[in-house]
Amino acid sequence: MKDVKSILEKSKTIAIVGLSDNPERDSYGIAEIVQKSGYRIVPVNPNIAESLGEKSYPDLKSIPFDIDIVNVFRNPEDVPPIIEEALQTNAHTIWLQTGITVGEADAQKVEESGKMLLQDACIGVAIRTKL
């Protein structure tokens, strides 16, 4: 895996695409770990107003401030348009949660953009274990 520790150390704000406001969902529990670890979380979900006390945005382009990481909790088939949108942000890393990967063409786009792509990896586990 790429230098996850370095990525986490230089990051402060993490947009979480697909974050739920339901405490029973994995996205909520992982976001709570991220938030309690000192990161600013930014929910990205057009179906909720807020999660974990933070205002939710309908998409990445609606976030009016800088983000460092785009963390994705969506079905793999929904990810390519999210990758396209994430490439338009100033985020340095696109992080796909456990079980989520993209095809070679999308991975190549991210690499060519100069951004980092982490796939099939839980950000909560990385933070807890301080990889």
Q: Where are the domains of the chain?
A: 4-129
C-alpha dist (Å) from residue 1 to 45, 49, 124, 131: 28, 34, 15, 10
Using the structure block, give the residue that is written with the tokens 């529990």. 29
User: In degrees, to the nearest 5, what angle opens at C-alpha 8 toward C-alphas 6 and 14?
Assistant: 145
Q: What is the pLDDT of residue 1?
A: 47
Q: What's the burial of 26, exposed, middle or buried (CB within 10 Å: 0-12/13-18/19+)?
A: middle
Describe the crossing of helices 79-87 and 104-113 by its angle, rounded to 10 degrees. Answer: 10
What is the reported pLDDT for 12? Answer: 98
Cβ–Cβ < 8 Å for 64, 86: no
Confidence (pLDDT) at 45: 98
| Token pair in block for residue 9 | 């150390």
Instruction: Report the predicted TM-score, pTM, of the whole model to 2 decimal places.
Output: 0.95
Per-residue pLDDT of the chain (131 residues), as tens digits, is 458 999 999 999 999 999 999 999 999 999 999 999 999 999 999 999 999 999 999 999 999 999 999 999 999 999 999 999 999 999 999 999 999 999 999 999 999 999 999 999 999 999 998 75
pLDDT value of position 69: 98
Give the per-residue pLDDT at 131: 56
To which CATH superfamily is domain 4-129 assigned?
A: NAD(P)-binding Rossmann-like Domain (3.40.50.720)
